[in-house]
Amino acid sequence: MKNFLLLIIVCNVTVFNSIQSQELNRIWATEAILEVPESVLYSAIHNCLFVSNIAGDPSDKDGKGMISVMDITGKVNDLHWVTGLSAPKGMAADSMYLYVSDINELVVIDIELKQIHNRIKREDAQFLNDVAVNSHGDVFVSDSNGKRIYKLKGGVLKVWLEGEMLVGVNGLFCEGDDIIVGTSSSILKVSMVDQSYEELFSETKDIDGIESDGEGGYYFSSWKGLLYHAVPGQQPVLLMDTTGESINCADIGYEPESKLIFVPTFFDNRVVAYRWGKL
């Protein structure tokens, strides 16, 4: 029995050390031609990356914001794909539409027509941030300053969840019947069935983007310049810290087949692609 337990411990340590020793490799980086890129969304349906560009102050209704389109090799195919937004941030897409948060509006873009289809305003929204769509087509939007998550229903943004557990709420990721929610201090798993929730990870810092790694874990970013990988039940692993270089790590995207993590660098005006470990 002793030898058996020792074998288990050695195997677990070996696996842990193997995970810890994986390197984060930079695959490519765009030139600094983007304009305050806040979010990168990989869309398998449309085989592209959508990039939201604030192009001004994150809170100003100045009409300077825009959406760019790239491919996963780092080529910017259309820098000004759709213009006329103000401070676009988080995005989500279905087969027809790209949904973009824009201060107190959810902007709906017709992807085929490459134009704004609708603007859905919530007058009391304070700072709409991330957007997620589940498999049923339900659209959720976080309000970082309002401690709320809205759900689009009948063309109206309605309060779906609110409370002190949502202080600084930002990153959203739909997974089955749950929605993974990043706040200023933790990552929650919230049931879309009954809104019950549990804490997946604690003592995290100002979560921005959240993406599934497709293997039971998650990549998540902190705007100041931190990138993590985490598996429920384990401590998050810090993959990158660019805070000392004043390079942000905003709302990340992920392409599971190539295992590429796409980091919008905000004021650094680039998108940088990384891969953790090997294919």
Q: In this structure, are strands 37-43 and 139-143 parallel, antiparallel, or unpaired?
A: unpaired
Average pLDDT over residues 19-44: 91
Q: Does 47 score more than 90 pLDDT?
A: yes
Average pLDDT over residues 254-261: 97
Considering the entire predicted model, what is its pTM?
0.92
Candidates 225, 221, 205; CA nearest to 254 is: 221
State residue 98's pLDDT score: 98
What does the mean pLDDT of the chain come to? 93
Q: Provide the edge-to-edge strand list for the sheet that holds 115-121.
A: 88-93, 97-102, 105-110, 115-121
Average pLDDT over residues 38-59: 97
All structural domains of the chain, each given as residue ranges with its CATH number in brackets, are: 2-276 (2.120.10.30)
State residue 128's pLDDT score: 98
Distance CA 266, CA 245 (A): 13
State residue 147's pLDDT score: 98
State residue 277's pLDDT score: 84
Distance CA 121, CA 38 (A): 20
State residue 242's pLDDT score: 98
189-230 pLDDT per residue, tens: 999 999 999 999 999 989 999 999 999 999 999 999 999 999
State residue 261's pLDDT score: 98
Candidates 102, 27, 77, 19; CA nearest to 262 is: 27
Q: Report whether 128 contacts 120 (CB < 8 A).
A: no
Top pLDDT among 117 and 13 is at 117
66-89 pLDDT per residue, tens: 999 999 999 999 999 999 999 999
Going by the DSSP 8-state scheme, the letter that residue 184 receives in this structure is S
State residue 22's pLDDT score: 77
Q: Does 6 score more than 50 pLDDT?
A: no
Distance CA 269, CA 55 (A): 9
Terminal-residue alpha carbon distance, the chain: 37
Q: What percentage of residues in the chain have a pLDDT greater than 70?
A: 92
164-177 pLDDT per residue, tens: 999 999 999 999 99
